[in-house]
Structure 1
Amino acid sequence: MFDIEIPAPDGASSLAAIGRALGAAGIGLEGGGLWSGVAHYLVAEGARAGEVLREIALGPVLVREVLVVDLDVDAPGALGRMMARLAGAGVVLHGQYSDHDNRKVLLVDDVVVARRALETAGS
């Protein structure tokens, strides 16, 4: 899975353009949102989404592989324990949000190291 990051300076108008362009290309959004004028969305087709969004010229588009993991939402402190494992492994977290299946989407500097840190600890 991939996170696409694109400026959305005009809020709803920008998201309308992003949604129309991706929808016309048959690319579905699996999670994400808008924060402080920057949109982040989870997609399966990262390269294609990047191409489509570059065509509408809202600004630079970043496409990054992400780690999508389950989190025991019924266990208080689960997110803290997960983040402690990442920090302990030296992973830099650039962002975190949830997908439509309530899994955590982690934008990290090293997906392989992050995955290993979480698997080793039995996340």
Structure 2
Amino acid sequence: MLSLEGGGVFTHNGHAVAHYLVDDGPAALAAVTAAGLGTTVVRDVAITRLDQDKPGQLGALARMLGDAGVNVLVQYSDHAGNLVLLVSDEHTTVCRDTIVRWEQG
């Protein structure tokens, strides 16, 4: 059994795109494929936490990511309140490095 930890459905170029956060990507891929739900890709995400008591956190992190050349494709919060970022594969390492700097203040 799989648990969805966060995610949602978005529209891009008139097509619905579902993005769900799971703990076990290969098992999720197998379940979606077996159900015949269409094209499926497993992607890695970057996760961090914002200080909800401090205004401007998302904007400040977005500025750091932009300055580092990271293009965020999808951003949402998971069920635990963490910020989930999906970026292109070539930006994953830079995104994670930027998040480490963000978390260190």
Q: Please, what TM-score do these two structures have when normalized by structure 2? A: 0.84
User: How many equivalent pairs are there?
Assistant: 98
Among candidates 95, 100, 114, match of residue 79 of structure 2:
100
User: Is the counterpart of residue 111 in structure 1 residue 98 in structure 2?
Assistant: no
- Rounded to whole Å, the distance in 1 between the matches of 2:44 and 2:30 is 15
Q: Which amino acid aligns with 2:23?
A: A
Q: Which runs of 5+ in 1 are unaligned?
A: 1-25
- Larger RCO of the pair (alpha carbons < 8 Å, separation 6+): 1
- Rounded to whole Å, the distance in 2 between the matches of 1:115 and 1:75 is 22
Q: Which amino acid aligns with 1:85?
A: M
Percent of matched pairs sharing the same residue: 41
User: Is the counterpart of residue 35 in structure 1 residue 16 in structure 2?
Assistant: no
SS at match of 1:47: helix
Query: Displacement, 1:62?
Result: 1.5
- Rounded to whole Å, the distance in 1 between the matches of 2:17 and 2:23 is 20
CA RMSD of aligned residues (A): 1.4
Q: Which runs of 5+ in 2 are unaligned?
A: none
Query: Displacement, 1:115?
Result: 1.3
Q: Please, what TM-score do these two structures have when normalized by structure 1? A: 0.73
